[in-house]
Amino acid sequence: MRLSVPSQTVDLQDPIFLAHRGGKLRTSTTVPLDSREDLSVAYTPGVARVCEAIAADESLARTHTWRSNVVAVVTDGTAVLGLGDIGPAASLPVMEGKAALFRQFADVDAVPICLDTKDPDEIVAAVAAIAPSFGGINLEDIAAPRCFDIEDRLKAMLDIPVFHDDQHGTAVVVLAALTNALRLQDRRAEDLTVTVVGAGAAGVAITKILTEAGVGDVVVCDSTGIIHEGRGRLNAVKARLAASTNRAGRRGDVTEALRGADVLVGVSGGSIPESALAGMAPDAIVFALANPTPEVDPEVAHRHAAIVATGRSDYPNQINNVLAFPGIFRGALDAGAPQITEAMKLAAAQAIADIAADDLAADRIVPSPLDPRVAPAVAAAVKAAS
């Protein structure tokens, strides 16, 4: 069911609306089109020779079309920012913005694709059908749990990278931030208990990457409480979480999940009471990433935690996906990689962490999203890991 957005008076002269008027993207040519000769080279008859060559050897599409540098940003509009299911048309400004970030930070061209269907089979079929025009697929703002199935099926079908940024981009930056928080505190990942509050797209991917990185134990909490083996009514994704997390067998609510925990990663959009934070271990680390309203107010979090991060740009330590996805795709495209592997994600996280390592402080555990060093470093690490 589509979200009902309250009616509002819109001032079309507001600077925000003026900036979006006409959209934020356009295409441009890379060859001259000033003469008959130019036209004959870029279009007919010259283009026919390139078409024939690609028909004989499809690998030439990578080097003689834009395919090697263009990504489709695909959504169904069901989980857009904190707005929820607002539909494909209303999601287009976000997808345009995503495409603009690709171009700005990694020199990657990107095309917004907003699909007017929520059916996973139709989404998979549509993306597979347009895939020959693209070098990679960035899935965006598709609600869980459908997003997991859609990504898995497309990865199995296609020979180009498929990457759901809400899952993996967030997870990569969380791991980078945690890496530097541990550097500051001289602690080891294997000694940690991490509580992830939220078992949607981001929460599942964060849990997976933290486990891959060697975190001692991860406890995942959804709206019902702690996910554990034997809990009823778990979907397939949560059942896999139950089998691979919560080694101590904890049960109960978020307060119990945080009791003695070293790290909180909030990706739920809900609210966590201060009394639950009070039960965390000394020198706790809190990443409250719901946007625009964190699960815990940062000032409250600081009463109980040594290091605090949010998803907002007006607080220190912003966990922002733009630190990850441009460089990850740049590296994958440059490598001609058919997929983005766990090793590539881990390499991306390490590259982000290393950029901030020389100037670490409790309020500087990740670089700025505007730091021009980030995307090239991530791209180089991802390409090497491929």
Q: Are 319 and 310 in contact (CB under 8 A)?
A: yes
Q: Are 323 and 173 in contact (CB under 8 A)?
A: yes
- Asked whether residue 141 is marked as a ligand-binding residue, the answer is yes
CA 324 – CA 170 distance, rounded (Å): 8
> Annotated catalytic, 315?
no
| CA torsion through residues 145, 150, 155, 160, sign | negative
Q: Are 290 and 268 in contact (CB under 8 A)?
A: yes
CA 330 – CA 374 distance, rounded (Å): 12
What is the bridge-based pairing of β-strands 162-164 and 225-226? unpaired
* CA-based nearest residue to 113, from 71, 67, 75, 141: 75
Catalytic: which of 24, 98, 208, 345?
Answer: 98
Going by C-beta distance under 8 Å and a sequence separation of 6 or more, which residues neighbour residue 326?
A: 101, 102, 104, 105, 106, 108, 375, 378
Q: Are 381 and 211 in contact (CB under 8 A)?
A: no
> Annotated catalytic, 98?
yes
Apex CA 60: angle with CA 38 and CA 152, to 5°? 125
- Asked whether residue 320 is marked as a ligand-binding residue, the answer is yes
Active site residues: 43, 98
Binding site for (S)-malate, residues?
Answer: 291, 320
Detail the residues annotated as belonging to a binding site for a divalent metal cation: 140-141, 166
